[in-house]
Amino acid sequence: MDQSQPAGLSGVRLGIDPGDVRIGVASSDPSGILATPVETVQRGVGDLHRIAALVEELGAVRIYVGLPRSMSGGEGPAAGKVRAFARDLSTRVQPVPVRLCDERLSTVTAEGQLRAQGRKGKKRRAVVDQAAAVVILQGALERERQTGAYAGESVPPEDTSD
């Protein structure tokens, strides 16, 4: 077994950057070393269906969703929306686990990286959500490697039994 990979932490992971208009999606290699952009999903009807299809297509074993927090660590209305989205996603893709990860500065970091690559205007806006998902996922992968445990906070699926 690869010594750099903690036991039980292998397989493709997805990183999700949910916004009000677009959802950035990134994936990792099966050994969890590198995150790469996958696509941008339009927010709205069918968005969870598309993400579930990507989970299946890519054989994802875990999903990390970026949770927006203030610089002080607090949560505002945007975090509440993301928590609801993550719960709906968890219900849709179960048994694949969904986890929330702090995404402070992920979009700022992604914007800076794209600017440094010379991407401007519409070209940058078209991929910034994917780039932010890469930043979120890469951070989660690094935490997995450093701690030997899953990153972030578990999101249980909604209990639909009555």
Give residue-wise pLDDT tens across range 15-70: 999 989 999 999 999 999 999 999 999 999 999 999 999 999 999 999 999 998 76
Report which DSSP code applies to 156.
P
**Whole-number pLDDT of residue 34:** 94
CA distance 11 to 31: 6
Q: What is the pLDDT of residues 99-126, one digit of tens each?
A: 999 876 555 565 666 566 666 665 556 5
Q: What is the CATH number of domain 13-152?
A: 3.30.420.140
**Whole-number pLDDT of residue 116:** 67
**Whole-number pLDDT of residue 131:** 87
Beta strands in 12-117 (DSSP E): 13-18, 22-28, 35-42, 62-67, 98-102
